[in-house]
Amino acid sequence: MSASRISKLGATTTTKLVAPVISSNSIEARRRVLTVYKELQRLAPKFWFDYGLQDAPLSVFREVLKNQFTKNKHVQDIRVVDRMVEETKQHIVNIRYAFYNPDHVRNMLFRENVEPKSKDFLSNFFSGKQ
């Protein structure tokens, strides 16, 4: 009898209403995303020059920054969007005060172009890394 009671209790679904962190609705969250995007695009020339990314033209660099935003366009949860916006603001502060090394910036922005390292022994052995 207790087992059936437990299964009935386990079958009920509960929903918890969670208050948004900063934005009260999706329109406000979108506005915050666009604001931080514009701020990053305004900072792009200084960012591009200070971190020695002149091997790519500034227009390509701006496109890479745009791609960093558009790869997360599927996110609908307002709390996640707020968290990502705050992370981006922190990155902007770190860029302004030059807390990052140029190699770290290059890895953050151009990570898609780097081949992933093989993790199995045979691949490392045949490539001469073991």
What distance in Å separates the CA atoms of residue 112 and residue 95, rounded to the nearest whole number? Answer: 21
- Domain limits of the chain? 25-112
With a cut of 70, say whether residue 84 has pLDDT above it. Answer: yes
What distance in Å separates the CA atoms of residue 58 and residue 83, rounded to the nearest whole number? Answer: 28
Its pTM stands at 0.70
**Do residues 33 and 71 touch, judged by C-beta distance below 8 A?**
no
Reduce the DSSP state of residue 129 to 3 states and report it.
coil
- Interval 51-80: pLDDT, tens: 999 988 999 999 999 999 999 999 999 999
